[in-house]
């Protein structure tokens, strides 16, 4: 083979490899078309796996158990003690506790934001030290209520401002842990955690539960502020659990439940109940036919 033949062969190989390396317009068009088909197929699959059932969101504290247990009082005492342990005098501790609760929906939120405390240490010393096993017991009526929710029509999740350890503990003692499919809690391990009634909390909850349709959210909570916030976001069915006449502690201050005054226009569309059993009527389409 002459030098000329070798050069010609090298040129042919080079031009062949260039063709391989730089795809033709036809090849690009084919690959794009295949990608579009794949994306369309994946979208169809995602849509077909989308769960279109309603979602029943249950607050835990002072909702799944009554305020008559006085657990909120015991919580308030522990949070106050925590403020004192940070060196605040009595009066300032009381004021800050209430201020942070009112401003952020959770005293802990203010403590983390302004005093850089360890939220998990707070949780251990406050919620973690509550003698819940001495106060709560398995609630067969509550369990029956949850069992009677028609799971072909609605999923059931808990939605709390507490950390997961407290949430699981309460659900476990009440004997309903297996009745909730998931728990949305405040992630105290993240210094930037969101809590009710912040919109971000509700959005995160929907994301965690893979839920897109606001109108499918059915929510019950003892805090009117939380229920209002959810309603404002567009959650479809919002219920305020209001045990009128009982006393609870919010932000360290005792408060008679239901003394917030009459419902105002902002509360339009919010149903008020005094007993969870009323959910059987309020959400009658989400319960099994008796
Ligand atoms: Mg509550």
CA 20–ligand 1 middle distance (angstroms)? 65
Contact between 234 and 219 (Cβ < 8 Å): no
Q: How far is the CA of 103 from the centre of ligand 1 (A)?
A: 17
| 187 inside domain | yes
According to the model, what pLDDT value does residue 105 have? 84
Q: How far is the CA of 33 from the centre of ligand 1 (A)?
A: 52
The verdict on residue 202 lying in a domain is yes
Q: In CATH, what number is assigned to the domain containing residue 256?
A: 3.40.50.1000
Does residue 195 fall inside a structural domain? yes
- The per-residue pLDDT for 126 is 96
Going from the Cα of 60 to the center of ligand 1, the distance in angstroms, rounded, reads 6
- The alpha carbon of 23 and the centre of ligand 1 are apart by a number of angstroms equal to 62
* Closest C-alpha to 233, from 209, 263, 203: 203
Q: Is residue 194 part of a domain?
A: yes
Rounded to the nearest angstrom, the distance between the alpha carbon of 262 and the centre of ligand 1 is: 20
Q: Does 209 reside within a domain?
A: yes
Give the sign of the dihedral formed by CA 148, CA 243, CA 254, CA 227.
positive
Distance from the alpha carbon of residue 64 to the mean position of ligand 1, in angstroms = 8
Query: How far apart are the CA of 147 and the centre of ligand 1, in A?
Result: 21
Distances (CA, A) of 76 to 33, 124, 137, 172, 183: 62, 14, 21, 22, 23
Q: What is the predicted pLDDT for the residue at 24?
A: 57
Distance 235 CA to ligand 1 centre (A): 18
**Total domain count, the chain:** 1
Quick one: pLDDT at residue 1? 46
Domain encompassing residue 259: 54-66+135-286
Determine, yes or no, domain membership for 263: yes
What is the Å distance from ligand 1's center to 182 Cα? 17
Q: Please check whether residue 168 lies inside any domain of the structure.
A: yes
Residue 82 lies in a domain: no
Peptide bond into 197 cis (omega under 30): yes
Neighbours of ion ligand 1 (CB under 5 A): 59, 61-62, 222
Q: What is the pLDDT along the chain (290 residues), one digit of tens a residue?
A: 444 454 554 444 444 444 444 455 555 555 555 555 655 555 445 445 678 999 999 999 999 999 999 999 999 999 999 999 999 999 999 999 999 999 988 999 999 999 999 999 999 999 999 999 999 999 999 999 999 999 999 999 999 999 999 999 999 999 999 999 999 999 999 988 999 999 999 999 999 999 999 999 999 999 999 999 999 999 999 999 999 889 898 888 888 888 866 566 668 899 999 999 999 999 999 999 97
């Amino acid at each position: 083979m002459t030098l000329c033949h070798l050069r010609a062969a090298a040129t042919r190989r080079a031009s062949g490899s260039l063709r391989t390396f730089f795809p033709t317009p036809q090849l690009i068009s084919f690959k794009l078309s295949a990608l579009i088909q794949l994306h369309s197929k994946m979208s169809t699959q995602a849509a077909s796996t989308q769960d279109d059932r309603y979602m029943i969101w249950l607050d835990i504290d002072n909702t799944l158990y009554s305020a008559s247990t006085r657990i909120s009082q015991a919580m308030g005492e522990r949070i106050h003690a925590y403020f004192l342990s940070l060196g605040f005098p009595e009066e300032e501790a009381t004021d800050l506790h209430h201020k942070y609760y009112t401003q952020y929906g959770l005293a802990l939120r203010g403590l983390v934001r302004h005093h850089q405390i360890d939220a998990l240490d707070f949780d251990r010393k406050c919620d973690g030290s509550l003698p819940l096993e001495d106060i709560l017991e398995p609630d067969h009526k509550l369990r029956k209520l949850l069992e009677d929710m028609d799971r072909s029509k609605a999923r059931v999740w808990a939605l709390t401002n507490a950390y997961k350890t407290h949430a699981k503990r309460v659900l476990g003692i009440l004997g309903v842990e297996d009745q909730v499919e998931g728990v949305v809690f405040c992630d105290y391990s993240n210094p930037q955690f969101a809590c009710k009634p912040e919109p971000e909390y509700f959005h995160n909850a929907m994301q965690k539960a893979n839920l897109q349709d606001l109108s499918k959210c059915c929510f019950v909570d003892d805090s009117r502020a939380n229920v209002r916030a959810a309603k404002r976001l567009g959650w479809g069915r919002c219920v305020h659990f209001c045990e009128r006449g009982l006393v609870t502690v919010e932000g360290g201050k005792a408060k008679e439940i239901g003394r917030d005054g009459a419902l105002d226009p902002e509360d339009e569309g919010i149903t008020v109940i005094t007993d969870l059993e009323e959910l059987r009527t309020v959400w009658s389409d989400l319960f099994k036919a008796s």
